[in-house]
């Protein structure tokens, strides 16, 4: 029996339950006929025209993205705007669209868990725990051995795909780090969490000036962690390989590929 879009959607929901997404999120099936056949799935962080074109070039019948295309309400999908272009090209090309966002952040092998694993954190656990103690937002754990803040930042630069932003750091280069808190994607909402405050460093993305400035000054008083700000896209891109592996196991016979296109919004930096 061929795999249908409904089968793929069910497998995706089993791995990353829609019911566990944040109330404000917009996950699940966005476009496509549930009865249509799916022979190949392409994974990307963002649904943008470039990743759509890549999906169609690869002959995939489904684009699975981390970021929802329709997170904010729209009143038109006319193709003089990019969301209309994305949906129009997918529909004409016979490809569906599904998003797994906050429901893919909190699971045991979610975005933050993958980043923690790649950094080699031991005994990593969620910062904000859900009903299941292994599930929740962010991760906190310990490095195998203490390292300097500068060396940790260099490790992140080597681990993550290159972006114009690079890796930004607030703190003393030689500050010794053992306990690491992190949240893949935008995580300034966790800056005041007691586990984050008690950590040696907090790694996340999209830190705004005022929250970052306040956190930095608290750290200088010995009341909070150093900060490492990494690309939002890069921090979540690492998860795609793990997600692809899980989908291949859940949907035998379906080809699963991962986009290597950089969809980080920044093209270059002048310093």
Whether residue 34 contacts residue 7, with contact meaning beta carbons closer than 8 Å, is answered with no
Residue 71 to residue 66: CA distance in whole angstroms: 11
Q: What was the pLDDT predicted at 246?
A: 98
Mean pLDDT, all residues of the chain? 96
CA-closest candidate to residue 98, choices 15, 160, 161, 22: 15
110 sits in the region (left: phi over 0; alpha: psi -120 to 50; else beta) called: beta
Q: Using pLDDT thresholds of 50, 70 and 90, give the confidence band for residue 194.
A: very high
Residue 171 to residue 201: CA distance in whole angstroms: 9
Q: What was the pLDDT predicted at 199?
A: 97
Pairing of strands 122-125, 139-148: antiparallel
Residues 250-256, mean pLDDT to the nearest whole number: 97
CA distances to 2, 63, 66, 193, 243 from 254, rounded to whole Å, are 9, 13, 19, 41, 14
pLDDT digits (tens, 9 = 90+) for 14-61: 999 999 999 999 999 999 999 999 999 999 999 999 999 999 999 999
Q: What's the CATH code, domain 5-104?
A: 3.40.1390.30
**What pTM value is reported for the model?**
0.95
Q: Is the pLDDT of residue 188 over 90?
A: yes
Q: What was the pLDDT predicted at 130?
A: 87
CATH T-level topology, domain 106-233? 3.40.1390
Q: Is the pLDDT of residue 72 over 90?
A: no
> Percentage of the chain with pLDDT > 90?
95
Q: Is the pLDDT of residue 1 over 90?
A: no
Start and end residues for every CATH 3.40.1390.30 domain found in the chain: 5-104, 106-233
Q: What was the pLDDT predicted at 70?
A: 95
Q: Using pLDDT thresholds of 50, 70 and 90, give the confidence band for residue 183.
A: very high
Q: Is the pLDDT of residue 222 over 90?
A: no
Q: Using pLDDT thresholds of 50, 70 and 90, give the confidence band for residue 170.
A: very high
Q: What was the pLDDT predicted at 6?
A: 98
């Amino acid at each position: 029996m061929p795999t249908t879009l409904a089968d793929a959607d069910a497998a995706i929901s089993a791995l990353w339950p829609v019911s566990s997404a944040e109330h404000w999120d917009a996950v699940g099936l966005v476009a496509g006929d549930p009865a249509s056949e799916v022979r190949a799935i392409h994974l990307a962080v963002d649904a943008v025209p470039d990743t759509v074109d890549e999906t169609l070039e690869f002959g995939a019948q489904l684009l699975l993205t981390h970021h929802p295309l329709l997170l904010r309400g729209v009143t038109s999908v006319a193709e003089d705007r990019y969301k209309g272009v994305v949906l129009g090209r997918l529909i004409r090309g016979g490809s569906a669209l599904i998003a797994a966002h906050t429901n893919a952040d909190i699971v045991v092998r979610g975005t933050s868990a993958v980043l923690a694993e790649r950094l080699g954190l031991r005994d990593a656990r969620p910062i904000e725990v859900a009903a299941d103690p292994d599930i929740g937002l962010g991760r906190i754990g310990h490095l195998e051995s203490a390292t300097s803040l500068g060396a940790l930042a260099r490790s992140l630069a080597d681990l993550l795909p290159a972006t114009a932003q690079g890796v930004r750091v607030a703190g003393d280069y030689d500050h010794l780090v053992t306990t690491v808190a992190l949240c893949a994607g935008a995580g300034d909402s966790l800056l005041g969490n007691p586990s984050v405050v008690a950590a040696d460093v907090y790694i996340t993305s999209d830190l705004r000036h005022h929250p970052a400035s306040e956190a930095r000054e608290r750290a200088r008083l010995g009341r909070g962690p150093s900060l490492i700000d990494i690309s939002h896209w890069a921090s979540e891109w690492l998860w795609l390989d793990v997600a692809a592996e899980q989908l291949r196991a859940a949907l035998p016979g379906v080809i699963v590929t991962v986009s290597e296109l950089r969809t980080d919004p920044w093209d270059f930096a002048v310093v």
